[in-house]
Structure 1
Amino acid sequence: MKKIIMTMTTAALLSSCGLYKSYERPADIQTDGLYRSDNTQSGDSLGLASFAWREIFTDPQLQTLIERGLAQNTNLRSAQLQIEQSEASLKAAKWAYIPSLAFAPQGSLAGVDWGKATQTYTIPVSASWQIDIFGSLHNAKKRAQAQLENSQAYKQAVQSQLIAAIANYYYSLAMLKDQLAVSQETEKLWKENVETTRALMNAGQSNMAAVSQTEANYYSICTQITDLKQQISDLENEFSALLGEAPQKYAIGSMNNWKVPARMSAGIPAAALANRPDVKQAETQLAVAYYATNESRAAFYPGLNLSGAIGWTNDLGTLPVNPGKWIWNAMASLTQPIFQNGKLRAQYKISKAQQEQAKLSFQQTLLDAGTEVNAALTKIQATGEKDGLYTKQIASLETAVKSTQALMMNSSTNYLQVLTAQQTLLTAQMSQISNKFSQIQAAIELYQALGGGYDE
């Protein structure tokens, strides 16, 4: 019998060795090939993700707004409270390794036929201790630690999104204000065109149709200016809400102050994407599921508990003694589940399924992250190429406007050619500003796609 018990105990210990194994990323999780070959760039392993947000967003006014947003945003403060909750849970899981103590004094009065009462008392201190033979407490602690890391990743996600949102609002306002400046300059020139055309009509070199068309062109730029001012006001109101402030005007610099980061690379996928908060969250969620599965496996094995008490009492079971005596007891119990109505096996199957779900979610998160990085890199490349073309186009159109105006003064061309050249120039100037914003936005998107923006 003794040999049978020893054999069963040895077998149980050997089969439970895996319950103490720490989480490791599954070997079949794919991290290679997440970037397109034409988007692969040389650089360090982290690329743009290694930059602190202050190194990316160097505009002093923007840095001040980001700092205000980080200090005042309610979602970020809520994420910090979630971290504190996870830290408390982890601390409780660590304390589970040591014995629990309780102080429970008791006293009683008893008598017969209203005679003299007998007084008894017991003043004990009791202790109980769960021995973690099969890793139940170990996996509970590891799961709590993974949940803490998940909460920290969530805060990183909130902070990264907040910084990107503030930067996007800032440069959206910068784009609108740059477009407003161009429109206001164009409005002055087109107003002069109206006066020039009217003077030509009075001199017999033009007609009322040309004056009316030139005036209509002028009024169109005036309405565009009004629209831009309204858009700026609406966007400032939304920006104020994001920063947790009352609606107000903001000092916004020009987009020309934007400086492209020195190393605009995406880094190595496995290293760079691991810095993304959603990737961290997905992997820590997989780790949580892994330890939960180990906990459900540990429930099949015996539980060993030690308990005892020591105290002072005058109640020894017969008559009270005076003075009291010291008493103590100690007990060990071993509980082996035999039949639990299938609950343990069902919980284990549920845990395994949830672990597989977490694994699939982690793989998909990596694929989605790679897609976002590729899109941002492609956008950066395309907007960079277009910027040079817009510069050449605007230079040509400025020459065309000057030439058609000079020809019109000599009556060798009509007003329609002048108006067409002016409108085309304005469209090109507006498009170049929009493209500049898209270029900045792509850099922000790449930085966020690589998990940047978390800088304590």
Structure 2
Amino acid sequence: MKTKTFAIIIVLSLTSCYSVKSLRKPNLDMPETYIPAMETDSACVADIDWWKFYTDSTLCSLIKSALENNRDLLNAAAKVEEVRNMYGIHRLNYLPEVSGVVGASHETNRYNGIATTKDPEYDLKMTVGWEVNLFGAMSWAQKSSLARYEATMDDYHAMRMTLVAETASAYFRLMALKNELSIVRQTLETREESLNQARIRFEGGLTSETVYQQAKVEYASTAALVPNLEKQVKVANNAITLLIGEFPNDSICPNQPTWSDHIQENVPVGISSTLLERRPDISAAEHRLAAAMADVGLSYANQFPNIRLSFTPGWENESLSHFFSSPFTYVAGNIAGTIFDFGRKKRKYKASIAVYEQARNDYEKAVINAFTEVNTAIETLRKVKESRQLKAELCEASMKYVNLAQLQYRAGSLNYIDVLDAQRRYFDAQIAVSNALRDEYLALANLYKVLGGGWSMSSENNNGNENMKKQTSGDSAVR
């Protein structure tokens, strides 16, 4: 009988393990490269720490402030602490629970007219209770809690990754707007000179009023651009202060930004199979899948009875004078379970399997989404590089066109309307180059993010501040 009983206990304790073996594993038939026929390299730009990738000292200072003060990130850190403590509770469930009672009572009884009787009692007892993890419910609960804690940590890392990219992108947009405003103001000065010259020539009878009015139109058209750009600069500036957790101020970006067109030509993207390790959002989805699997095991184990043992030593007496001469002990073992629940627990088990299927689909979707983002980011960076080069050539040609048009106008071989056309083309080309540079910086920052760069904290606390001090304000914003 002892052998049979022991065998039954072993079989029952392993039953919950079999409950998850029928669950389908994720289907991850990942491509070998992000883009077909693309050369692969083990090096990856995402392995570079963010303060080494973004070498602009102002930008690094903003990112550091965002990581320290952004309220959403601080909430994510608090959430990690909350889940960590909840996981600690499940770990402690393996230990016995100790409780105590100190009590005194004085009962009086009078039944059927009989004289009143007194029944005093004094108690000092301690109970040690322990739940036996026979069917694995506590083990599965701990696994589920651990997986959720790890998923929350991954969410925190993913938010750091996103915050670094958002701060850099907001900074690049602000730089581009200020650069565009500088171009407009420089053009406005040129338009003002042309307007003065046209007025003098008109008043001197050298040109018609049409030329003068054309110059006034060009000056007014350029001047009308300034208020809207100044508003956009203010909005972009406030977006950054919100990210870094500060009230609006205008001292976060140089007044005269300089763009560097020496952006790294070949950006290593690494081997596609390592993307799962670099992206914390994928890791979070994987840990949520593990938590859902543990919940399946937990719901299956909950169909079996709970076994609880308790031992209560202490003292109990009706008189305090002989209190410690009356020891008291109580030992109990309970098996509690549902006899008939009409299928409730079975349905909960099936519902947990459906939740697991959702988590499995979410994990597969996260992997596909990550590969899609990297594929898009690589192609976007390629095309914006091509666009920037073409627009730079257009800007150079437009500048030569303006110089030639002005020379021919002064020589009397070209109409003033042609000079205005050349100036408009050059103005538009300057804005286009500035926006193309912005788009290239944004594309590079996005590629760094989707490859999983910017969230690592391995050496930030030790080396981050020291390395940031070595950066100079003249460095380009991105390698």
| TM-score, normalised by the number of residues in structure 2 | 0.85
Secondary structure in 2 aligned to 1:79?
helix
Contact 2:127 2:310 in 1 (8 A): yes
Aligned 1:155-304 pairs, distance under 5 A: 155-201=156-202, 205-253=206-254, 254=257, 256-257=259-260, 260=263, 264-304=267-307
Q: 1:302 to 1:332 in 2, by over 3 A?
A: same
Amino acid at match of 1:268: I
Deviations 1:274-333 (A, max 9, x none): 4323322222211111100010111233433221111122269xxx96652222232333
Aligned 1:73-88 pairs, distance under 5 A: 73-88=70-85
Secondary structure in 1 aligned to 2:455?
coil
Q: 1:18 to 1:112 in 2, by over 3 A?
A: closer
Amino acid at match of 2:259: N
State the distance in 1 between where 2:288 and 2:123 align.
49
State the distance in 2 between where 1:220 and 1:277 align.
49
State the distance in 2 between where 1:69 and 1:383 align.
28
Indicate the residue corresponding to 2:153 in structure 1: 152
State the distance in 2 between where 1:44 and 1:410 align.
61
2:396 matched to 1:395? yes
State the distance in 2 between where 1:273 and 1:17 align.
27
Higher mean C-alpha displacement, 236-245 vs 353-362 = 236-245
Higher mean C-alpha displacement, 95-104 vs 270-279 = 270-279
Contact 2:448 2:454 in 1 (8 A): yes
Indicate the residue corresponding to 2:462 in structure 1: none
Gaps of 5+ in 1: none
Gaps of 5+ in 2: 458-479
State the distance in 2 between where 1:182 and 1:365 align.
43
Following TM superposition, by how much is the alpha carbon of 1:4 offset from its aligned partner in structure 2, in angstroms? 6.4
Indicate the residue corresponding to 1:451 in structure 2: 452
Contact 1:266 1:272 in 2 (8 A): no
State the distance in 2 between where 1:262 and 1:427 align.
26
State the distance in 1 between where 2:394 and 2:195 align.
25
State the distance in 2 between where 1:305 and 1:264 align.
61
State the distance in 2 between where 1:455 and 1:112 align.
73
Following TM superposition, by how much is the alpha carbon of 1:27 offset from its aligned partner in structure 2, in angstroms? 5.2
State the distance in 2 between where 1:261 and 1:315 align.
88
State the distance in 2 between where 1:203 and 1:171 align.
48
Secondary structure in 2 aligned to 1:107?
strand
Following TM superposition, by how much is the alpha carbon of 1:32 offset from its aligned partner in structure 2, in angstroms? 2.8
Aligned 1:377-388 pairs, distance under 5 A: 377-388=378-389
Following TM superposition, by how much is the alpha carbon of 1:189 offset from its aligned partner in structure 2, in angstroms? 1.9
2:54 matched to 1:57? yes
Indicate the residue corresponding to 2:434 in structure 1: 433
RMSD, matched Cα: 2.9
Contact 1:59 1:258 in 2 (8 A): no
Contact 2:20 2:296 in 1 (8 A): no
State the distance in 2 between where 1:410 and 1:20 align.
88
Indicate the residue corresponding to 2:12 in structure 1: 12
Q: 1:14 to 1:90 in 2, by over 3 A?
A: closer
Indicate the residue corresponding to 1:37 in structure 2: 36
Q: 1:257 to 1:455 in 2, by over 3 A?
A: farther
Higher mean C-alpha displacement, 278-287 vs 91-100 = 278-287
Indicate the residue corresponding to 2:25 in structure 1: 26
Q: 1:4 to 1:323 in 2, by over 3 A?
A: closer
Contact 1:19 1:134 in 2 (8 A): no
Q: 1:441 to 1:308 in 2, by over 3 A?
A: same
2:118 matched to 1:121? no
Amino acid at match of 1:15: T
Deviations 1:90-114 (A, max 9, x none): 1111100011011112322245678
Contact 2:27 2:364 in 1 (8 A): no
State the distance in 1 between where 2:25 and 2:279 align.
19
Indicate the residue corresponding to 2:311 in structure 1: 308
Q: 1:66 to 1:266 in 2, by over 3 A?
A: same
| TM-score, normalised by the number of residues in structure 1 | 0.89
Following TM superposition, by how much is the alpha carbon of 1:151 offset from its aligned partner in structure 2, in angstroms? 1.4
Amino acid at match of 1:345: K
Deviations 1:257-287 (A, max 9, x none): 5874687233233322443233222222111
Contact 2:194 2:215 in 1 (8 A): yes
Higher mean C-alpha displacement, 296-305 vs 285-294 = 296-305
Contact 1:20 1:135 in 2 (8 A): no
Contact 1:30 1:363 in 2 (8 A): no
Deviations 1:124-179 (A, max 9, x none): 11111112122211111111111111211222233222222222221111101111
Following TM superposition, by how much is the alpha carbon of 1:243 offset from its aligned partner in structure 2, in angstroms? 2.8
Secondary structure in 1 aligned to 2:224?
helix
State the distance in 2 between where 1:111 and 1:377 align.
87
Indicate the residue corresponding to 2:468 in structure 1: none
Indicate the residue corresponding to 1:367 in structure 2: 368
Contact 1:19 1:139 in 2 (8 A): no
Indicate the residue corresponding to 1:69 in structure 2: 66
Contact 2:181 2:226 in 1 (8 A): yes
State the distance in 1 between where 2:24 and 2:245 align.
40
Following TM superposition, by how much is the alpha carbon of 1:252 offset from its aligned partner in structure 2, in angstroms? 2.0
Contact 2:151 2:284 in 1 (8 A): yes
Following TM superposition, by how much is the alpha carbon of 1:83 offset from its aligned partner in structure 2, in angstroms? 0.8
Secondary structure in 1 aligned to 2:191?
helix
Indicate the residue corresponding to 1:48 in structure 2: 45
Indicate the residue corresponding to 1:95 in structure 2: 92
Higher mean C-alpha displacement, 300-309 vs 397-406 = 300-309
Secondary structure in 1 aligned to 2:259?
helix
Following TM superposition, by how much is the alpha carbon of 1:247 offset from its aligned partner in structure 2, in angstroms? 2.0
State the distance in 1 between where 2:143 and 2:69 align.
33
